[in-house]
Amino acid sequence: MMLRTISSSLLIALPLVSCVPSPEDGRSGNPLIPLLPIVLIFAVFYLLLIYPKQRQQKKHEQMLSDIKKGDEVITSAGIHGRVVGVGDRVVVVRIAENVKIEVEKSHIAAITKR
């Protein structure tokens, strides 16, 4: 049974091997053709994963630089509050009456109201 599986897979792969030009044919192919699938995979990978992530990161950095007093924000921990102070790295957020916390700017997930 194992022999049948191996032999059937060899029969399937055999026509593929015979399609590859051998150096005895006298034809010389372009040496860049084998690199084409790798380049295409990288291009698809870049377009589907890297580029959207870079755009999202730039948008988040722009949002962080635009934070000002009075904005209502949500932190990455899910805390809702209003900005009462803005520093270089830290934002002071009021989450209740007489309750203020300092939050790193990078941990502000979204601005809900301006």
Contact assessment for residue 110 and residue 60, using Cβ atoms and an 8 Å cutoff? no
58-96 tens-digit pLDDT: 999 999 999 999 999 999 999 999 999 999 999 999 999
> Residue 45 — pLDDT band, cuts 50, 70, 90?
very high
Count up the domains in the chain and report the number: 1
> Which amino acid is it at 88?
D
Mean pLDDT within 5-24? 52
CATH number at residue 100: 2.30.30
Burial 5-31 (b: 16+ CB within 10 A, else e): eeeeeeeeeeeeeeeeeeeeeeeeeee
Does residue 24 fall inside a structural domain?
Answer: no
Does residue 94 fall inside a structural domain?
Answer: yes
Q: What is the pLDDT of residue 30?
A: 85
CB burial of residue 65 (10 Å; 0-12, 13-18, 19+): exposed
Does residue 15 fall inside a structural domain?
Answer: no
Residue found by looking up tokens 């924000």 in the block: 73
Highest mean pLDDT among 13-17, 25-29, 30-34, 107-111: 107-111
Mean pLDDT within 3-25? 53
Contact assessment for residue 93 and residue 84, using Cβ atoms and an 8 Å cutoff? yes
Does residue 67 fall inside a structural domain?
Answer: yes
Domain that residue 55 falls in: 30-113
